[in-house]
């Protein structure tokens, strides 16, 4: 039986899996209806730096010892996603779709590992 806290964490990890799948789909299929995000805008850079800082904060935040691996998974995935977003803003356009798929794969991996960590015994 899942406690409400574990169930909520599991739903959050499921959301990350679905978001990663959506990014993978965008990476392989391209943008919907020809709309794209301006990857050279200041808001893209601010978001990527915020993700890096949020991930580093999660890595160095003191927490409960049994949540250490979950915190490492969350922090590392956010920091890597922010770094990948910074890379996307600087590479040629032909590299954007594969890098977007890699970002989606990173989120799916985070969701799968996070879900496995939720079900492990304490």
- Hey, how many other C-beta atoms are within 10 angstroms of the C-beta on 10? 16
Q: What is the pLDDT of residue 101?
A: 93
pLDDT tens digits along 51-102 = 999 999 988 877 666 677 888 898 999 999 999 999 999 998 888 889 999 9
Measured CA distances, 62 to 24, 57, 67, 68, 72 (Å)? 33, 9, 10, 9, 11
User: Which tokens is 94 given?
Assistant: 């032909």
Cβ-contact 108, 15 below 8 angstroms: no
pLDDT tens digits along 5-52 = 889 999 999 999 999 999 999 888 876 555 567 888 899 999 999 999
Tell me which DSSP letter residue 31 carries: -
Q: What is the pLDDT of residue 39?
A: 84
CA 109 to chain centre: 9
Q: What is the pLDDT of residue 32?
A: 55
Cβ-contact 56, 79 below 8 angstroms: yes
Q: Tokens 């979950």: give the residue.
A: 70
Tell me which DSSP letter residue 114 carries: H
Q: Where does the pLDDT of residue 122 fall: very low under 50, low under 70, confident under 90, or very high at 90 and above?
A: low
| Half-sphere exposure of residue 22: CA atoms within 13 angstroms, side-chain side | 7
User: Which tokens is 47 given?
Assistant: 């978001």
């Amino acid at each position: 039986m899942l406690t409400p806290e574990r169930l909520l964490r599991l739903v959050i990890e499921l959301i990350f899996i679905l978001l990663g799948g959506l990014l993978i789909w965008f990476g392989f299929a391209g943008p919907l209806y020809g709309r794209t995000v301006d990857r050279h805008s200041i808001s893209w850079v601010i978001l990527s730096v915020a993700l890096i800082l949020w991930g580093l904060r999660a890595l160095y935040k003191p927490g409960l010892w049994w949540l250490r691996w979950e915190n490492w998974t969350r922090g590392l995935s956010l920091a890597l996603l922010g770094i990948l977003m910074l890379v996307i803003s600087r590479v040629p356009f032909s590299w954007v779709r594969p890098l977007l798929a890699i970002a989606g794969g990173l989120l799916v991996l985070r969701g799968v590992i996070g879900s496995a960590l939720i079900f492990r015994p304490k």
